[in-house]
Every structure is written in C-alpha cells, then in structure tokens.
Amino acid sequence: MTVAAIKGASPAGGCALSLCCDIRIMTSNTCMKSYIGLNEVALGIHVPKFWGELMRRTASRASGAAIDRVLLDATLMPSEQALDMGPVYDHMEDVDALGWEALADEGTVEMLRGVVARLGLKGPKSNL
C-alpha cells in the first residue's frame, strides 16, 4: 500500500503522482497553504488524459460536472475541498505530522490503519 503525504501545494505532476497512491493525506489550510490539482490548462497545456482520468476516479464523492469544472478551470483545490470531493482521504492540522519520520511513527501507522478501515479499503489500488 502506498501513501502520499502532501505537505503544502501539489499542482500538476505532484498531483498526478499523489493520485497514483492508495492513500492521500494532506496538511490542512489552517496550518499552511495546501492545494492539490491539475492546473496545466492555466498554462496553456493540455491535461494528459490519464491524469484527468485519475482525478475522475479518485474524486469519488464529486459529480462528473464538478470534476470537469475543476479540470477545465485549472482549479487548485484547498485541502478541505479535496477532502469533500474525494481525491484526499484525510487532512492533518499538524504540519510536522506529515514528515518522513512521522510516517514511520507507530501513532501515524495506527492513524493510517484507521483511515484504511474507515474507507473499507481491501488492498492496493482498491479505489481505482
């Protein structure tokens, strides 16, 4: 199982890479500016079809029209919106809780187990 610990902004390729992970957790906007999205359109670049499909599949709690609007408007979603739409499973208030050392911490492992149980994930790539 792969975990994307998103600390701060995650546009374009960073977003696509995190969407390939089984679990995505990001810092909340109350502790630092945290955004995720495919913003290539704002730069005049086409969003690769695979990346757009990843966004559609992972944003399971949003309508197709909402996802199309995010992709066509090059929206960088704040962590709270990403949590509501589905690309992010959880967000944390503590910036330091998303460090590499924290991911090896037993408390964080227990938190991840809770996220997996709450989401009903059965194994790798179960959300795709």
Q: From its phi and psi, is residue 28 left (phi > 0), alpha (psi between -120 and 50) or beta? A: beta
Q: What pLDDT band is residue 127 in, cutting at 50, 70 and 90? A: very low
Q: Taking 80 as the threshold, does the pLDDT of residue 65 lie above it?
A: yes
Amino acid 104: pLDDT: 58
Structural domains in the chain plus CATH codes: 3-119 (3.90.226.10)
- Would you call 48 helix, strand, or coil by DSSP? coil
Note whether 34 and 5 are within 8 A (CB).
no
Note whether 127 and 89 are within 8 A (CB).
no
pLDDT 10s digits, 92-121: 776 565 555 555 566 666 777 777 777 676
C-alpha to C-alpha distance for 122 and 77, rounded to whole angstroms:
27
Q: Is the dihedral of CA 117, 91, 77, 99 positive or negative?
A: negative
pLDDT 10s digits, 1-55: 788 888 888 999 999 999 999 888 888 876 678 899 999 989 899 888 898 898 8
